[in-house]
Structure 1
Amino acid sequence: MAEPTAAEIVEDVPHPVDTDYEIGQNNITPLGLDIHNPVFLISGLSVVAFVLVTLMFKENAAEFFGWLRNTLTSKFDWFFLLAGNVFVLFCIALMITPLGKIRLGGDDATPDYGYMGWFAMLFAAGMGIGLMFFGVSEPMSHFASSMGGTTVEGAARTDWAPLGAAAGDIVAARDLGMAATIFHWALHPWAIYAVVALSLAFFTYNRGLPLTLRSAFYPILGERVWGWPGHIIDIMAVFATLFGLATSLGFGTEQALAGFNYLFGWSTGDGAKVLLIAIITGLALVSVLRGLDGGVKVLSEINIGLAALLLLFIIAVGPTATIFETIIHGGAAYVKEIIPLSMPFGREDTNFSQGWTAFYWAWWISWSPFVGMFIARVSRGRTIREFIFCVIVIPTVVSILWMGAFGGTAISQVIADASAPVKDAALELKLFEMLKPLPLASITSFIGIILVLVFFVTSSDSGSLVIDTITAGGKTDAPAAQRVFWCTFEGIVAATLLLVGGNQALDALQAMAVSTGFPFAIILLVMCVSLLIGLMQSLREGKS
């Protein structure tokens, strides 16, 4: 008799989801921690050691972070770009093939959340802080440098051959700059999230496995997934999530402090950074203890509402016609240029592929365990086709609207006045300089700060819930003390990287995101194979 395949073994795994798998030994400590050895101990102690060693050797650490980021993005940019393309094509294939009809949770499953609440949570967790930080700065950077092919004054640029605009063609420079920006915030990053989220949701809701990263590899590893191979996968997921979050929290801290300084003259020094992170971490702790529905969901919906109001305000009082032109032409340029932008080999634009794309893909990959597991937790009842469309296509459209409104407004200001303050402002100040010439600038700038802070909180609390689930072996009801531990250390790691980085704080943040994103990219590629095996088995048996 033939041996069963790995996919057939998956079908024999006990159901339902709350089956008590032996993922290490369960020990309730005096502190109230539900420890699943060795995932919690190794990841927890490693994070504590990282903080202590980094603070003890600040100068050496800062030098190392700078070297690490540049080395990984310059040597492996081709790998990051190639992996990103695989994830996009994989998701498209799932959506258009018969596999798309499979429903997460089975044929009779119904969605736990309506479209509005579901979309608000996945979007706030997925990109909130990043859109606030880069919504103005990145379109301007690509417009004014290599991506546009021209400078604002019209001088020719030659370091971006594939998309270079004719010298002096400002409109073409704007559209190509928007295409490059949208490329980093549209299909590719959300495809990365979708792969992880779909894998976790399918193997949890359809195959009864724990809600943890290792479960997605059962078709390949079999029962070994509960041993050291699975431990390593979950530990890597914890590291990737923690440092990916720290990067975003660092960006949020820099921008919020810059905004407070801009409006009220508050300090932006190290003490202010630590204080702000401590306050926001405290708020995140309150949200974490309130749980998914009482904390994360409520904050996410509030934030999406505020973000929508700010977006509509800018469209209404800004250069409305130019904004719509930027959105339409920029989106069209993105569709036209997505293939040359995605090419992993034979590139001349090393500044773009290494300095921008490789970092972004590593950042999104490092975020994928966090965002993916969070999306999986709130996506039961959706078909795969519906899931991929909503998780990839809708956020892509929103990103185009956001970048077109914020970036298009800033670019129009620079075109009208080459000495406009937004042109040379620091990255964290560009949003506020863009808002300054518009009506109610003080109010909208304050709303912008609030958005950054609430995105900060939603990222921190939802990230804590995810890491807690991983280190508790897939349990979604682990002790509160454990969630408090992870939420606290997310803030501590972000503060540590900001303090050690000094003037190059953002480089230190980016270095840790890239360092965890690189090995996790390999894990995600294998995850695609494992998910395909499971889905095909389900389709052959007429099950979902």
Structure 2
Amino acid sequence: MLRTRLEITSADFLLSSGKTKVIYNFLKNNPLLAVSTGLLLLFSAVVFLFTEWSYQSIEMLSLWVRSHFGYFYLYLGLGCVLLLLGIAVSPWGKLKLGKPNEKPEHSTWAWASMLYSTGMGAGILLRAVQEPIFMQQNPPFASKTTPEILALEFTFYQWGFTAWAFYGLFALIIGHALFAKKQKVLVSSSIPQKFKGTKRANAVDILAIITTVFGLIAAIGLGTAQITGGLNHVFQPEFGVTITLLLAILISAIAFVSVWLGVDKGIKRISKFNILVTLLLLAFVFVNSNMGDILLSFGKASWYYLMDFVPMSIAVGRYNPGIEFLTDWTFYYWAFWLAWAPFTGIFIARISRGRTLRQMLLGVLIIPSLGTFFWFSVFGTSAFEIIESWGSYNNEFGSVFSSIFIFFGEYPFSGLLNGITILLLVSFLVTSVDSAVFVLSMFTDKGNPNPQKKHRLIWSIFILLATLALILLGNAKPDIDVLTAVQKLLIITSLPFAFFMVFMATVFLSSFRKKG
């Protein structure tokens, strides 16, 4: 009997040792995965052990970045828009991502759906009512137009061309490296050949991975918080952290199935569903509101946005809202878009095979921007009229978590609308997670555009565990807003990318000039 037990114990030990050896060899042969996950685990441990100190440090560094480099972000944003427009209308715009006679890999509808679901997604539901109302109640600067049109104009500015230009620049450079130069799907593919394989190149890819992970867990945390808020608003009971955790598990599970199936069978189908339901929701609000006022507001705000775009982009003269307003809003948004640019831009590049640079760049800048402008026009204008009908405003639309549900309370079938919104929040979060996991898997699978499924499994599990830990930490420390801290952490990690984008664009233009 003793011998049998010893034999079983020895067998278990050997089996365990064998598995450990396989994992060790896997990580040893994949330093990018080993280092990035190791750093993320180390950071998580520090935050858990020194939560208050971590929060204060992140808050201080975030404010320092925005106060010292905020205007640099503004100039960079304007530069990216002008650069992409210049390349799109130039002879370079005819260059194709792929073979000369190759047709686009995805239809325009599918391409635009994946583009929008990945780049914006749940954010338009979070801010649909809250942001236009805030801008109306707190005008950023004096204007010759009405507070309502100015509110829409400034909302367009923060969600329009500049955000998509950050994404588009990465898509342009990575897409050209992937399909024209036949390089790997890595951020380091955009740097000169002499740096390839060096520690500097690896550092760029590690930073991209870490920033993407922080962005993801912040998005899932905020999204699940809004869904929980929606459930509380609809059903009245106070759903707590258990429901939030279950939602995170549900979203991660669906995203894992989607990314496991791949771009065509998973990500594309959910993205098309998202856009279809979003359009139906938009159409319902539009036809049940003052359509004439909405169209007029959309046209006026879009015109003012185009006319004021350059002075707003450099905050000059009367277009300067002041450092406090810029720090809380525009600098924050620009840093957030920058933080998401590597992951979103690479995904856009991955799905743009067969398109010319002109088609991709103009599509990235114009299609989602116009869609977002009309979305905010419909919800913003309708919310303005609701407040006018109330006769007074007591900050009913002040919370990003509940504003859209309160808004739908003024419409027929409000219960159905709230249910659809909750479904959309889940679905948009799924497409953000699955596309990000796909990009992370490409990174750690040595730039493979169709990464092995074991990498998709690893990152799906890692993201889920990190998200659950973040939610639990946030509830364990009610006096510390952990989710907000993670968002602000993105502002800090986006600063190196802001400088890297200047370097990346310079190298790219230099190589194009040599060819020309």
TM-score by length of structure 1 reads 0.85
1:229-378 residue pairs with structure 2 within 5 A? 229-343=200-314, 347=320, 349-378=322-351
Structure 2 contact 85–362 (Cα < 8 Å) conserved? no
Q: Which residue identity does 1:145 align to in structure 2?
A: N
Aligned to 1:489: 462
Please state how far the C-alpha of 1:498 moved relative to its aligned partner.
Answer: 4.5
Aligned to 2:49: 56
Are residue 428 (structure 1) and residue 411 (structure 2) matched? Answer: no
Q: How far does the alpha carbon of each residue in 1:155-187 deviate from its partner, in whole angstroms, 9 at most, with x for none? A: xxxxx3xxx147xxxx71011111110011110
Structure 1 contact 465–483 (Cα < 8 Å) conserved? yes
Q: Which residue identity does 2:291 align to in structure 1?
A: T
Aligned to 1:97: 90
- What is the root-mean-square deviation in Å for CA atoms of aligned residues? 2.2
Correspondence for 1:512 among 475, 478, 489 = 489
Alpha-carbon distance change, 533 to 70 in structure 1, aligned in 2, over 3 angstroms: same
- Structure 1: runs of 5+ lacking an equivalent: 1-27, 148-159
Aligned to 1:536: 513
Q: Which residue identity does 1:364 align to in structure 2?
A: W
CA–CA distance in structure 2, aligned partners of residues 182 and 29 of structure 1: 51
Please state how far the C-alpha of 1:495 moved relative to its aligned partner.
Answer: 4.1
Are residue 120 (structure 1) and residue 113 (structure 2) matched? Answer: yes
CA–CA distance in structure 1, aligned partners of residues 29 and 386 of structure 2: 55
Structure 1 contact 240–520 (Cα < 8 Å) conserved? no
Alpha-carbon distance change, 98 to 274 in structure 1, aligned in 2, over 3 angstroms: same
Aligned to 1:190: 164
Aligned to 1:14: none
Please state how far the C-alpha of 1:257 moved relative to its aligned partner.
Answer: 1.0
* Aligned positions, number: 491
Structure 1 contact 245–367 (Cα < 8 Å) conserved? no
Alpha-carbon distance change, 432 to 329 in structure 1, aligned in 2, over 3 angstroms: same
Please state how far the C-alpha of 1:52 moved relative to its aligned partner.
Answer: 2.3
1:135-146 residue pairs with structure 2 within 5 A? 135-146=128-139
Alpha-carbon distance change, 138 to 29 in structure 1, aligned in 2, over 3 angstroms: farther
Aligned to 1:177: 151
Please state how far the C-alpha of 1:345 moved relative to its aligned partner.
Answer: 6.5
Q: How far does the alpha carbon of each residue in 1:273-324 deviate from its partner, in whole angstroms, 9 at most, with x for none? A: 2222122112211112111111111100111100010011110112222222
Q: Which residue identity does 2:202 align to in structure 1?
A: H
Please state how far the C-alpha of 1:477 moved relative to its aligned partner.
Answer: 3.6
Please state how far the C-alpha of 1:384 moved relative to its aligned partner.
Answer: 0.9
Please state how far the C-alpha of 1:71 moved relative to its aligned partner.
Answer: 2.3
CA–CA distance in structure 2, aligned partners of residues 247 and 341 of structure 1: 28
1:71-110 residue pairs with structure 2 within 5 A? 71-110=64-103
CA–CA distance in structure 1, aligned partners of residues 396 and 143 of structure 2: 20
Structure 1 contact 55–496 (Cα < 8 Å) conserved? no
Alpha-carbon distance change, 457 to 512 in structure 1, aligned in 2, over 3 angstroms: same
Please state how far the C-alpha of 1:422 moved relative to its aligned partner.
Answer: 6.6
Q: Which residue identity does 2:413 align to in structure 1?
A: L
- Structure 2: runs of 5+ lacking an equivalent: 1-20
Alpha-carbon distance change, 71 to 244 in structure 1, aligned in 2, over 3 angstroms: same
Alpha-carbon distance change, 348 to 327 in structure 1, aligned in 2, over 3 angstroms: closer
Q: Which residue identity does 1:98 align to in structure 2?
A: P
Are residue 227 (structure 1) and residue 198 (structure 2) matched? Answer: yes
CA–CA distance in structure 1, aligned partners of residues 42 and 239 of structure 2: 27
- Which stretches of structure 1, 4 residues or longer, exceed 6 Å deviation after superposition? none
Structure 2 contact 139–147 (Cα < 8 Å) conserved? no
Correspondence for 1:394 among 351, 367, 370 = 367
CA–CA distance in structure 2, aligned partners of residues 226 and 418 of structure 1: 64
Please state how far the C-alpha of 1:239 moved relative to its aligned partner.
Answer: 1.5
SS in 1 for 2:105: coil
Structure 2 contact 133–397 (Cα < 8 Å) conserved? no
Task: Name which of structure 1's ranges 275-284 and 261-270 shifts more when overlaid on structure 2.
Answer: 261-270
Task: Name which of structure 1's ranges 453-462 and 423-432 shifts more when overlaid on structure 2.
Answer: 423-432
Structure 1 contact 136–410 (Cα < 8 Å) conserved? yes
Please state how far the C-alpha of 1:31 moved relative to its aligned partner.
Answer: 8.4
Please state how far the C-alpha of 1:244 moved relative to its aligned partner.
Answer: 2.0
Q: Which residue identity does 1:370 align to in structure 2?
A: F
Structure 1 contact 323–405 (Cα < 8 Å) conserved? yes
Please state how far the C-alpha of 1:499 moved relative to its aligned partner.
Answer: 4.5
CA–CA distance in structure 2, aligned partners of residues 212 and 348 of structure 1: 38
Structure 1 contact 469–475 (Cα < 8 Å) conserved? yes
Alpha-carbon distance change, 440 to 355 in structure 1, aligned in 2, over 3 angstroms: same
Please state how far the C-alpha of 1:56 moved relative to its aligned partner.
Answer: 2.3
Correspondence for 1:130 among 114, 123, 126 = 123
CA–CA distance in structure 2, aligned partners of residues 29 and 293 of structure 1: 31
Please state how far the C-alpha of 1:60 moved relative to its aligned partner.
Answer: 2.3
SS in 2 for 1:76: helix
Q: Which residue identity does 1:183 align to in structure 2?
A: Y
Structure 1 contact 498–508 (Cα < 8 Å) conserved? no
CA–CA distance in structure 2, aligned partners of residues 79 and 425 of structure 1: 30
Task: Name which of structure 1's ranges 521-530 and 498-507 shifts more when overlaid on structure 2.
Answer: 498-507
Task: Name which of structure 1's ranges 55-64 and 439-448 shifts more when overlaid on structure 2.
Answer: 55-64
Aligned to 2:358: 385
Please state how far the C-alpha of 1:137 moved relative to its aligned partner.
Answer: 1.0
Alpha-carbon distance change, 435 to 505 in structure 1, aligned in 2, over 3 angstroms: farther
Q: How far does the alpha carbon of each residue in 1:300-354 deviate from its partner, in whole angstroms, 9 at most, with x for none? A: 0111100010011110112222222221122122112212221157745123311
Q: Which residue identity does 1:139 align to in structure 2?
A: P
CA–CA distance in structure 1, aligned partners of residues 283 and 130 of structure 2: 19
Structure 1 contact 203–216 (Cα < 8 Å) conserved? yes
Structure 1 contact 34–478 (Cα < 8 Å) conserved? no
CA–CA distance in structure 1, aligned partners of residues 174 and 289 of structure 2: 42
Q: Which residue identity does 1:441 align to in structure 2?
A: S
SS in 1 for 2:83: helix
Structure 1 contact 29–35 (Cα < 8 Å) conserved? no
Structure 2 contact 129–397 (Cα < 8 Å) conserved? no
CA–CA distance in structure 2, aligned partners of residues 415 and 32 of structure 1: 66
Aligned to 1:155: none
SS in 2 for 1:231: helix
Alpha-carbon distance change, 29 to 194 in structure 1, aligned in 2, over 3 angstroms: farther
CA–CA distance in structure 1, aligned partners of residues 246 and 67 of structure 2: 35
Please state how far the C-alpha of 1:103 moved relative to its aligned partner.
Answer: 1.0
CA–CA distance in structure 2, aligned partners of residues 344 and 434 of structure 1: 32
Alpha-carbon distance change, 523 to 71 in structure 1, aligned in 2, over 3 angstroms: same
Correspondence for 1:524 among 491, 501, 514 = 501
CA–CA distance in structure 2, aligned partners of residues 457 and 307 of structure 1: 15
Q: Which residue identity does 1:451 align to in structure 2?
A: L
SS in 2 for 1:474: coil
Alpha-carbon distance change, 188 to 466 in structure 1, aligned in 2, over 3 angstroms: same
Alpha-carbon distance change, 36 to 209 in structure 1, aligned in 2, over 3 angstroms: farther
Task: Name which of structure 1's ranges 221-230 and 38-47 shifts more when overlaid on structure 2.
Answer: 221-230
